[in-house]
Structure 1
Amino acid sequence: MKDAVSAAEANRKFSLILRQVREGHSYVVTSHGRPVARIVPADARGDVASGARKTLLMRLEAQPILDTGHWSRDELYEDER
């Protein structure tokens, strides 16, 4: 079961929400009526993580490869002061 909850309400009722998530409930947290996050049971997060990973990999594969030239170790770790 997925319920929508505002960010303000999630903040006020976080302990209650966590107890319900432990029992298998899921929540979509909204901000100004727009979904911004999901709170799901930890055993269900594999689906979320694999979906996010798949999306990231698809976006990276679609990006062009840029030639940044050769950088020395000193250039990579140079402090800007």
Structure 2
Amino acid sequence: MPDGLVSAAEANRDFAKMLREVEGGARITITKDGKPVAVLSPAEASRNDGSMNVDRSHAHRRMMDLLAQGMPLDFRGGVDRDDVHSR
């Protein structure tokens, strides 16, 4: 698997081998029609990646702020995209 790039067909055929490599710390990009579509990486590396946690924290704070401004959880319709962004 050169440079950690494999086609979707190769990934399907050689998944067990790829999994062993990832367990050893490898990061493998899976491509479809020559374009990257997924990355297989060690679970610990993904879990410790601060950027993902920062994004989730930001989204959670934003949701809580919007709820504090009066958007009830059981609200059903009557607001378009511009209304939501104006709150």
Structure 1-normalised TM-score? 0.59
2:41 is matched with 40
Cα 1:46–1:24, aligned 2, differ >3 Å: closer, same or farther? same
* Structure 1, unpaired ranges of 5+: 60-64, 77-81
State how far apart, in whole Å, the 1-side matches of 2:16 and 2:31 are. 18
2:23 is matched with 22
- TM-superposed deviation, 1:54: 4.4
Cα 1:17–1:43, aligned 2, differ >3 Å: closer, same or farther? same
- TM-superposed deviation, 1:16: 0.5
1:51 is matched with 51
Q: Quote the sequence identity (%).
A: 33
The structure whose residues are more often helix, as a share, is 2
SS of structure 2 residue aligned to 1:11: helix
Higher relative contact order (CA 8 A, sep 6+): 1
1:11 is matched with 12
RMSD: 3.3
- TM-superposed deviation, 1:57: 7.1
SS of structure 2 residue aligned to 1:29: strand
Cα 1:18–1:51, aligned 2, differ >3 Å: closer, same or farther? same
Q: How many residues are aligned here?
A: 71
